[in-house]
Structure formats: structure tokens, C-alpha cells
């Protein structure tokens, strides 16, 4: 039996096709989110990869910011529930989850069975999110997937202290104009994102193991900065950007068993 999870975020669209609630047969990420052709393209690519058609899907669950705009879903489930379910499936020892996406950051605490017992979310402001990193990458004229490499070469972490993205952008421009290296500035940008995520994690009552999902988990510089601040290792889910879609596909499997 096949089920599908689709996670329509602000920055990207993700689709996972699952066989019998266990094996991922296709996973697709398109870097365009809600309001674009991203969801349809992710769905078509995942079906093509798996050589399946939409009618083969017993149930489909949608999650993410754009989940109510996707008409083919049998059910919508919140992002908190889907990220928790997806990461717990991949990292069963996870008790604290940090998900940093394009427009929000979340910390979720789980019990030993994977139930959500507490969560906090920053969805009011771009600071501490992928959007903040995207803005800084543009100012620094580097690609988002180069940020970690620059960070790894930093000999010092320069403070980027503004809590507002617009002010932080000015701060970065000011550092650049004073000749501070991109490496040091990027380390400061990552430390700023990490401190906001850690604040959310502490509020949930931080417990080991800590695992990360979401697109920003692909940035090893942010992961290192979080690990440093929390003074513990961070488990990064394999292919972390798809964890919400995986959770949705698992919820779709539950629905399929009910019907
Ligand atoms: N290859 C990469 N390396 C590093 N960072 C990346 C990479 N790809 C994406 N990102 C970061 O991930 C962010 C998007 O994350 P994600 O796809 O989880 O967002 P989303 O689910 O669409 O957003 P939200 O959940 O907030 O609505 C981007 O803003 C970018 O900063
Ligand atoms: Mg998301």
C-alpha cells in the first residue's frame, strides 16, 4: 500500500511516497513553496521517480503553511505533528526537535513514544529563520549551500546582535565595509540563528537526544553553532528537509488503515 505526504512550506514543497508505512520509495524537494507551481511539480516528480500514479495513493495528507490550498489531500495535519512524527521515525531517541524552515523556527519536546508534550514557535519575525540566512547570503554574495564551508574556516565569531533582520543586514554590511572577513561574519550570522533556536528549545524543557529537521538543518554551520550553545551533540535527520512530508505520509498510512 502506498501513501503520500506533501509539505507545502513558505520556501519549498516536499513530497514523500511511502510503502506500507515504512519504506520511502520517493522523496522530492522543489525550492518553491506555497502559491507557486512547487507543490504540483514536487508531486509529479515524486510520482515519476516511483513509477506510480496518483490513483495508487491510498491516502494523502498535506501539511505546512500551504496545506489548505492543496485540494487533493484527504486530510490536513499541522506541521508540529508532522515534523515530530517524521523525525521520531528516523531518530527514535529524539526527545527535543528543532525545525528551522524558511519562515519559522520551532522547538518540540516529545515523550518516549513520540507524542508531542510541548512546543514553541517563532513565526512572528524572520530573525532565526531560513529567510534570515537567505538575506545574509545575498548580502554576502554567496550561495546558501556555501555558508557552512565559510563558517568552518572562521577563526573568530563576529557579533551580529540585531534582533531585527533589516538591522542585522545593515550590521553585516557595516562589518563588510570595515573589512571583516565573510567567514567571521557568517559564523556570527549562524550564532545569531542558533541562539534563537536554543531559546525555543530551552523553553520546551530541553532533553536528550536533540534532533534537527527542516531545510536549515542542511547548514552544518548552524548545526555546529546550536551544538556549541546547547553543549551536546545534535542528530541531523537524514535528508532533513523532507521530515515534515515523511510525517504526513505516516499520518496518511494511519488514515489508510482506518478505512
Ligand atoms: N542546501 C542547503 N544548504 C543550506 N541551507 C539550505 C539549503 N537548502 C535550503 N536551505 C535553507 O532552508 C530554508 C528552507 O527550509 P524549508 O524547506 O524547511 O522551509 P519551508 O518548510 O518551506 O518553510 P516554513 O516551514 O517556514 O514554511 C531556506 O530558507 C534556506 O535557508
Ligand atoms: Mg517547513
pLDDT in tens, 141-155: 999 999 999 999 999
Q: Which atom of ligand 1 is closest in space to residue 79's alpha carbon?
A: 25
pLDDT tens, position by position, 81-107: 999 999 999 999 999 999 999 999 999
Percent above pLDDT 70 for the chain: 100
pLDDT at 61: 98
Asked if 130 and 219 sit in the same domain, the reply is yes
User: What average pLDDT does range 114-125 have in this prediction?
Assistant: 92
- 228 and 245 part of one domain: no
226 and 106 co-located in one domain? yes
- What is the rounded distance in angstroms from the CA atom of residue 44 to the CA atom of residue 40? 6
- Tell whether 100 and 222 lie within a shared domain: yes
Determine the pLDDT at residue 4. 98
Tell me the C-alpha distance between 111 and 22, whole Å: 21
pLDDT band at 163 (very low <50, low <70, confident <90, very high): confident
pLDDT of 124 reads 80
Same domain membership, residue 248 and residue 229: no
Counting from 1 in the atom list of ligand 1, the atom nearest the Cα of 219 is 4
106 and 203 co-located in one domain: yes
How long is the chain?
259
Residue 237: per-residue pLDDT? 87
Pairing of strands 116-122, 210-213: unpaired
- Which bound ligand lies closest to the C-alpha atom of 223? 1
Residue whose CA lies nearest to ligand 1 atom number 3: 145
| CB within 8 Å of 40: residues ≥ 6 apart | none
The pLDDT value recorded for residue 125 is 87
Range of the domain at 173: 92-236
Q: What pLDDT is stored for residue 123 in this prediction?
A: 76
Q: Do residues 154 and 223 share a domain?
A: yes
Question: Residue 216 CA: which ligand is closest?
Answer: 1
Q: Domain check: are 211 and 246 in the same one?
A: no
Same domain, 98 and 208: yes
80: its cell numbers: 508540529
For residues 49 and 61, state if they share a domain: yes
Please identify, by atom number, the ligand 1 atom nearest to the C-alpha of residue 103: 26
Q: How many Å separate Cα 252 from the centre of its chain?
A: 20
Please name the helix (run of DSSP H) or strand (run of DSSP E) that holds residue 13, with its range, or none.
strand 13-19
Q: Are residues 31 and 134 located together in one domain of the fold?
A: no
96-100, strands of its sheet edge to edge = 116-122, 105-110, 96-100, 210-213, 234-236
- Is the CB of residue 85 less than 8 Å from the CB of residue 97? no
What residues does ligand 1 touch, defined as CB less than 6 Å away? 9-12, 33, 64-65, 101-104, 130-131, 133-134, 144-145, 214-216, 218-219, 241
Residue 54 and residue 182 in one domain: no
Rounded mean pLDDT of 3-29?
97
Ligand nearest to the CA of 123: 1
Cα-based distances in Å from 254 to 11, 53, 222, 238, 259: 28, 20, 34, 23, 9
Closest ligand 1 atom, CA of 11? 22
Q: How many domains does the chain have?
A: 2
CATH number, domain at 60? 3.30.420.40
Amino acid at each position: 500500500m502506498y501513501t503520500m505526504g506533501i509539505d507545502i512550506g513558505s520556501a519549498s514543497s516536499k513530497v514523500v511516497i511511502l510503502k506500507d508505512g515504512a519504506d520511502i520509495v520517493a522523496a522530492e524537494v522543489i525550492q518553491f513553496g506555497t502559491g507557486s507551481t512547487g507543490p504540483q511539480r514536487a508531486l509529479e516528480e515524486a510520482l515519476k521517480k516511483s513509477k506510480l500514479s496518483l490513483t495508487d495513493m491510498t491516502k494523502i495528507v498535506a501539511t505546512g503553511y500551504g496545506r489548505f490550498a492543496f485540494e487533493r489531500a484527504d486530510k490536513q495535519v499541522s506541521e508540529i505533528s508532522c515534523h515530530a512524527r517524521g523525525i521520531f521515525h528516523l531518530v527514535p531517541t529524539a526527545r527535543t526537535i528543532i525545525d528551522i524552515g524558511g519562515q519559522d523556527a520551532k522547538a518540540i519536546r516529545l515523550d518516549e513514544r513520540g507524542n508531542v508534550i510541548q512546543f514553541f514557535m517563532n513565526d512572528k519575525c524572520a530573525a532565526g529563520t531560513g529567510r534570515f540566512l537567505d538575506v545574509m547570503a545575498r548580502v554576502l554574495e554567496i550561495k546558501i549551500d556555501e555558508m557552512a564551508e565559510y563558517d568552518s574556516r572562521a577563526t573568530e565569531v563576529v557579533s551580529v546582535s540585531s534582533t531585527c533582520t533589516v538591522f542585522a543586514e545593515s550590521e553585516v554590511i557595516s562589518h563588510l565595509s570595515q573589512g571583516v572577513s565573510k567567514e567571521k561574519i557568517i559564523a556570527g550570522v549562524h550564532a545569531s540563528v542558533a541562539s534563537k533556536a536554543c531559546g525555543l528549545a530551552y523553553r520546551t524543557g530541553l532533553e536528550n537526544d536533540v534532533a534537527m529537521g527542516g531545510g536549515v538543518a542542511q547548514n552544518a554551520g548552524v548545526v555546529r553553532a546550536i551544538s556549541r550553545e546547547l553543549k551536546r551533540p545534535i542528530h541531523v535527520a537524514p535528508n532533513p528537509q523532507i521530515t515534515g512530508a515523511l510525517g504526513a505520509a505516516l499520518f496518511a498510512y494511519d488514515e489508510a488503515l482506518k478505512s
